[in-house]
Amino acid sequence: MRFQLRRIVNRVMNGLAAASAFLVVLPLLLILAFLVYQGASSVNLDFFTHLPKPVGEPGGGMANAIVGTLTLIGLAALVGLPLGILGGVYLVESRDPRLPWAVRFLADVLNGVPSIVVGIFAYTLVVLPMRRFSAVAGGVALACIMLPIVLRTTEEMVRLVPNSLREAALALGIPEWKVVLRVVLPTARAGILTGVMVSIARIAGETAPLLFTAFGNRFWHQRLDQPIAALPLQIFAYAIAPYDDWHRQAWAGAVVLIALIFLTSLAARLATRGRVRGAR
Amino acid sequence: MSTAIMPNHGEEAGQAATGISATRPGRPAHWGDQLFRLLLRAAGLSLVVLVIAICAVLVWKALPAMRTFGWRFLVTSVWDPVAEHYGALPLIYGTLLSSLLALCLAVPLGIGAAIYLAELAPMWIRSPIAFLVELLAAVPSVIYGLWGVFVLAPILRMYVQPALSRTFGFLPLFQGPPYGVGMLAAGIILAIMIVPFIIAVSREVLLAVPNTQREAALALGATRWETTRIAVLRYGRSGLVGAILLGLGRALGETMAVTMVIGNRPEISASLFAPGYTMASMLANEFTEATSNLYLSALIEVGLLLFAVTVCVNALARLLVWSVGGAVAGGRE
Amino acid sequence: MADGMFVRRLRAWFGSMEVLHGIDLAIAAQQVTAIIGPSGCGKSTFIRCLNRMHEVVAGARTEGQVLLNGADLYAGDVDPVDVRRRVGMVFQRPNPFPTMSVFDNVAAGLRMNGISRNGALADKVEASLLQAALWDEVKDQLDKSGASLSGGQQQRLCIARALAVNPEVLLMDEPCSALDPIATAKIEELILELKRRLTVVIVTHNMQQAARVSDVTGFFLMGELIECDQTSRLFTNPTDQRTEDYITGRFG
């Protein structure tokens, strides 16, 4: 009798667990389906090539926002990638007693800081002294978000390089710095690339830190010390506005943004296909 | 995404078990090596400096507001930019309530899904679902917000909220006009957003439980669920709490999606239907409107508060998650 | 009392690789049967087929019959969960539940089976710990974590935990390989005591241990049962040349 009860409980709990898994995946599929349904029809050539039209006029596109996002990613990568990769290498190759622990801990702290707070930091550091919103400020904010991601994944990937490789190179009389640059890093190249792409996918979608750094722009930016448009910013601005046409364009922008992010994530996964990742 | 959350093997060994430093102890003689080491150290240091700088800048800029309002800032409900009276209580309330609501929805689903993926699912289904969960985590906040405004809010306003009113309307939780946007919408959207993190970390925690524990339970004649309950969940419980806290940390700092569906009114209300405000969404809405120095300083103080809370929650969470990895005697397998 | 286990034409696979090629073996009740053989010969797989633990691994399957008291454990209507209660197992590395106390570890199986009254639990826990020759050492420390005991004590705790659910057969997969000689000796003493009540099947890579402890010994090689005989006869006068080669150490 008791045994029957245990079997029933087993079935029920297993069922609940399976149900949770499917329930969790459902919103994603719903959202994606809705996104495509609403936005796909509006994604046309105009969207990619035209600037936003003045308020009230239908049509126009988000060309400047797309270019703006790419520009901001480029600016962020300029600072975030070298510091992140070198920092990750530092964590693996260094002999310092305490600093690596602090770096690792603070990188995780930085990872958890809300992106809007990072935006405040960039505002204070860049926007206030320059007295204007700018692409540079946006780039700084995004770099701060990108840095810990690149750093930790680089560390993981470099740590996976077997010591025997380093020893073989050292035994040939090659100085340590050459061993790292010419042997270790190339071996870990695919994994580091994955980390880079994951971080790009992440900052491409960030809106909050750009609200008061890059600020957004309805036109092309002329210089990097001016406000610049970005895809997520534009989506946000259009979504909360009262015009139907703008809503339609917001959906289109969302489709383009999510396509960009998913493709980058997919590429990141493919880069490490077949490689051993950490403990699993 | 979350593999960076579990500790690296090198950390636990104290001294690095990999890297040049493991292969050749002693000081580098080559000048190229010394330069390189300096460069690496500078990169590592830059991160430390950055985090300290963020902290310092926040405190420095928030100081005027802190000096003016003191502790009352945390308990006053008035937020009046015109009269320059700033009290953050509605923001704190809104942040906590929306995050709590999100946890209530996301934790059972998330841990249930993690159990399914780690213990129960047939092999062929694990990868696709894990992949879909990762995709869920990659969707940007603003897109969730977009969906929330145009799909979720209308559904809540037209179907769900009236239904809740009819059946549970006697509870203060479900009273008031059905706007659609409001605390309930924010809680639901936050739940959808944090569930992938809870699943990912919980799954790693569960997979870290050594197989010998499962075998011990099975050999006693336990059913699959009993094995999960006795051997796996108990063993990994501190890690699971850590996963929940990580989800909380994310929910506290989430900005865009919440801003778009919470209604943006700094009021405290008992009803889930009412609009509210969170710390992050206030920053998003009002930062560019700040006209006076005190206004800006008050906003930055809110940012500092948010910073402090999320850092503490995340630090605690990581400690708990790491403890499952190897602290238990004889647990390593 | 039970009339022992009979293994008939048992075959086992991991995926497409066959690791047991048709084993026929009679395991006498209330005796100790030892299974010896070199690494990779299939002895662990064999013992795991006796309590249907083998099929837990993804892609693993079995064919054949394992009869306990005349009934086939692999029959279609038999629940493996029930089999595992009746045929208990102790593993190579002691695996007490570290988040539970000594008491809770032993009680784990009992609680699952619905015994929850404190009085009844306490009695059974004490009885099992006595049977496992651990009671005197832990009777004042029942609240301590299961993982805080020494290696040998942990293994005896696992034995007590397995005994608590009243199995008819106890399977032991190299139970002493992770223990020091003194702890090993204690467990070997325990096995000789246990066989009065249960049937014991022990896998060991230590031939001297098999000679000390068992009544019957079976020699496995490459997934086949080469020879099975009274222990004394197998070690002094083996029938098969391969058995003799293994015993005399010509290969290992």
**What per-residue confidence (pLDDT) applies to A83?**
95
From the list A210, A254, A206, the residue with the least C-alpha distance to A62 is A254
Quick one: how far is CA B34 from the chain centroid?
41
Domain that holds residue B174: 91-292+315-326
**What per-residue confidence (pLDDT) applies to B331?**
30
Identify from C81, C111, C116, C117 which residue to disrupt to test chain A contact, counting A C-beta atoms within 10 A and taking the largest count: C81
Query: Counting one residue from A and one from C, how many pairs have CB atoms under 8 Å apart?
Result: 8
Reading the block at residue A154, the tokens are 């680089």
Inform me whether the pLDDT recorded for B330 exceeds 60.
no
- Is B317:B242 a contact under the CB 8 Å cutoff? yes
pLDDT (tens digit per residue) in B235-247: 888 899 999 999 9
Q: Three-state secondary structure along A79-111?
A: HHHHHHHHHHHHHHHCCCCCHHHHHHHHHHHHH
* Contact residues on chain C for A3, CB-CB shorter than 8 A: 79, 82
Give the phi and the psi of residue C145 in degrees, each rounded to 5.
Answer: -60, 145
**What per-residue confidence (pLDDT) applies to B30?**
73
Name the pLDDT band for A213 (thresholds 50, 70, 90).
very high
Share above pLDDT 70 across residues of chain B, in percent, rounded to a whole number: 89
pLDDT (tens digit per residue) in A110-160: 999 999 999 999 999 999 999 989 999 999 999 999 999 999 999 999 999
Domain segments of chain C as ranges: 5-247
Residue environment code for B194-227, b if the CB has 16+ CB neighbours within 10 A, otherwise e: bbbbbbbbbbbbbbbbbebbbbbbbbbbbbbbbb
Reading the block at residue B248, the tokens are 């909380």
**What per-residue confidence (pLDDT) applies to B2?**
42
Gap between the Cα atoms of A37 and A30, Å rounded: 10
Name the pLDDT band for B28 (thresholds 50, 70, 90).
low
Gap between the Cα atoms of C225 and B308, Å rounded: 67
**B225 close to C (CB below 8 A):** no
| Residues belonging to chain A | 280
Inform me whether the pLDDT recorded for B12 exceeds 50.
no
* Contact residues on chain A for B53, CB-CB shorter than 8 A: 121, 125
**Do A157 and A37 share a structural domain?**
no
Inform me whether the pLDDT recorded for B13 exceeds 70.
no
Q: Would B310 be classed as within a structural domain?
A: no
| Predicted complex ipTM exceeds 0.95 | no
Angle between helices B183-208 and B89-115 (to 10 degrees): 40
**C146 close to B (CB below 8 A):** no
**What per-residue confidence (pLDDT) applies to B14?**
40
Provide the H-helix boundaries in chain B: 9-12, 20-23, 31-69, 72-75, 89-115, 123-138, 141-147, 153-155, 161-168, 183-208, 211-219, 224-227, 234-235, 237-253, 256-261, 279-286, 293-326
Q: Is C141 helix (H, G, I), strand (E, B) or coil?
A: coil
Q: Would A159 be classed as within a structural domain?
A: yes
Give the phi and the psi of residue A243 in degrees, each rounded to 5.
Answer: -105, 130
Residue A133 φ/ψ region, left for φ over 0, alpha for ψ in the -120 to 50 degree band, beta for the rest: beta
Q: H helices then E strands: how many in chain C?
A: 10, 10
Gap between the Cα atoms of A62 and B176, Å rounded: 40
* Contact residues on chain B for A117, CB-CB shorter than 8 A: 54, 58, 253, 303, 306-307, 310
- The number of domains in chain B is 1
Gap between the Cα atoms of C28 and A49, Å rounded: 85
Strand C5-14: give its sheet, edge to edge.
C17-27, C5-14, C60-68, C71-72
pLDDT (tens digit per residue) in A171-185: 887 888 888 888 889
Residue A217 φ/ψ region, left for φ over 0, alpha for ψ in the -120 to 50 degree band, beta for the rest: beta
Provide the H-helix boundaries in C146-230: 151-164, 181-194, 207-213
**CATH code assigned at A246:** 1.10.3720.10
pLDDT (tens digit per residue) in B142-183: 999 999 999 999 999 888 888 888 888 888 888 888 888 889
**Do A49 and A38 share a structural domain?**
no
Higher pLDDT, B32 or B108: B108
Region A74-97: mean pLDDT is 93
Tell me how far CA of residue B117 lies from CA of A11, A14, A19, B203, B246, in angstroms: 16, 11, 11, 7, 19
Domain that holds residue A24: 2-42
Gap between the Cα atoms of B152 and B160, Å rounded: 10
User: How far C121 CA sits from the closest chain A CA (Å)?
Assistant: 17
Residue in B19, B48, B109 nearest the CB of A92? B19
**Do A201 and A85 share a structural domain?**
yes
From the list A221, A117, A37, the residue with the least C-alpha distance to B311 is A117
**Do A15 and A62 share a structural domain?**
no
Higher pLDDT, B209 or B31: B209
Inform me whether the pLDDT recorded for A163 exceeds 70.
yes
**What per-residue confidence (pLDDT) applies to C164?**
92
**C182 close to B (CB below 8 A):** no
For chain A positions 225-254, those within 8 Å of chain B (CB to CB) are 232, 235-236, 239-240, 247, 250-251, 254
**CATH code assigned at B240:** 1.10.3720.10
From the list A205, A208, A226, the residue with the least C-alpha distance to A132 is A226
**A200 close to B (CB below 8 A):** no
Quick one: how far is CA C109 from the chain centroid?
17
- Is C46:C171 a contact under the CB 8 Å cutoff? no
* Contact residues on chain A for B306, CB-CB shorter than 8 A: 114, 116-117
Q: What CATH homologous superfamily does C5-247 map to?
A: P-loop containing nucleotide triphosphate hydrolases (3.40.50.300)
**What per-residue confidence (pLDDT) applies to B25?**
59
**What per-residue confidence (pLDDT) applies to A167?**
83
Identify from B220, B232, B328, B333 which residue to disrupt to test chain C contact, counting C C-beta atoms within 10 A and taking the largest count: B220
- Give chain A's mean pLDDT: 88
Q: Would A278 be classed as within a structural domain?
A: no
From the list C73, C27, C13, the residue with the least C-alpha distance to C172 is C27
**Do A249 and A186 share a structural domain?**
yes
* Contact residues on chain C for A7, CB-CB shorter than 8 A: 79, 81
From the list B120, B326, B309, B109, the residue with the least C-alpha distance to B239 is B326
Gap between the Cα atoms of B187 and C244, Å rounded: 73
Region A240-267: mean pLDDT is 89
The helix or strand, by DSSP H or E, that contains position C72, with its residue range, turns out to be strand C71-72
Q: Would B216 be classed as within a structural domain?
A: yes
User: How far A37 CA sits from the closest chain B CA (Å)?
Assistant: 12
Region A77-82: mean pLDDT is 95
How many other β-carbons are positioned within 10 Å of the β-carbon of residue B167?
A: 10
Gap between the Cα atoms of A198 and A84, Å rounded: 13
User: How far B85 CA sits from the closest chain A CA (Å)?
Assistant: 21
Q: Would B24 be classed as within a structural domain?
A: no
- The number of domains in chain A is 2
Gap between the Cα atoms of C237 and C219, Å rounded: 13
From the list C110, C155, C115, the residue with the least C-alpha distance to C137 is C155
pLDDT (tens digit per residue) in B102-134: 999 999 999 999 999 998 888 888 888 888 888
- Give chain B's mean pLDDT: 85
Q: By CB neighbour count within 10 A (0-12 exposed, 13-18 middle, 19+ buried), where does C170 fall?
A: buried
**Do A127 and A100 share a structural domain?**
yes
User: How far C204 CA sits from the closest chain B CA (Å)?
Assistant: 19
**B123 close to C (CB below 8 A):** yes
Q: Would B7 be classed as within a structural domain?
A: no
In chain A, whose CA is at the least distance from the CA of B29?
Answer: A175
Chains contacting C with at least 3 CB pairs below 8 Å? A, B
Region of poorest pLDDT, from A50-54, A81-85, B259-263:
A50-54
**A68 close to B (CB below 8 A):** no
Residue that finishes a domain, picked among A42, A58, A74: A42
Reading the block at residue B57, the tokens are 């800048």
**What per-residue confidence (pLDDT) applies to C2?**
57
Gap between the Cα atoms of B301 and B310, Å rounded: 14
Tell me how far CA of residue A124 lies from CA of A114, A143, B278, B287, B310, in angstroms: 16, 15, 22, 12, 20
| Tens place of pLDDT per residue across chain C (252 aa) | 457 899 999 999 999 999 999 999 999 999 999 999 998 889 999 999 999 999 888 889 999 999 998 899 999 889 888 899 899 999 999 989 988 899 999 998 888 887 888 888 999 999 999 999 999 999 899 999 988 999 999 999 999 999 999 999 999 999 999 899 999 999 999 999 999 989 999 999 999 999 999 999 999 999 999 999 999 999 999 999 999 999 988 887
Region B225-229: mean pLDDT is 91
